[in-house]
Amino acid sequence: KNEMNKILNYSFTKKKITKEEIHKLTNSYEKESYFELVDSCLSKNKPAVQKIINNTSFNKSDSIIIIRSFLSRIKRLLELKKLFVKIGNIEGTISNFRPQIFWKEKEVVKKQIQTWPLDEVYSLFEETLHLEIKFKKNSDLSNNLIFDFILNTTDKSNN
């Protein structure tokens, strides 16, 4: 209903609406990065996670990409946490990490390092691997599985 209202309101100012305009109106987060969803989750930014999930149309093939994105980010977080244990401060950890952290990601990475104890990162990695197995066994439930995992992980990291 909300999507139809968007189209209706937009059509008051135009005589003709293109397919591309309709697509933009109904899927405002089309270009939303999978990594942004994962980073928001790992940074315990539940409002951002919910906004991305609610405003993006995900299909079954997106679920495996999200899982793989989680695995990639968790592996990076594991290495960052190990380096943090050696160095002892976040700034030094981020500046000495290789490959180098892109400047736009530094604040998110700091938040993730502060949020997750090393043992919980290992547990999260194991959970993500199990999620991937569940997905492969029953891809019909892929979106339910991945979004339950994301929301539970966001809540878990808040504790």
Give per-residue pLDDT as tens, 61-104. Answer: 888 889 999 999 999 999 999 999 999 999 999 999 999 999 99
30, pLDDT greater than 80 = no
Please state, in angstroms and rounded to a whole number, the distance separating the CA atoms of residues 124 and 136: 18
Q: What's the whole-model pTM score?
A: 0.77
Please state, in angstroms and rounded to a whole number, the distance separating the CA atoms of residues 98 and 47: 30
Please state, in angstroms and rounded to a whole number, the distance separating the CA atoms of residues 65 and 74: 14
- The closest of 96, 94, 121 to 110, measured between CA atoms, is 94
Please state, in angstroms and rounded to a whole number, the distance separating the CA atoms of residues 102 and 106: 7
Q: Tell me the pLDDT band of 25, cut-offs 50, 70 and 90.
A: low
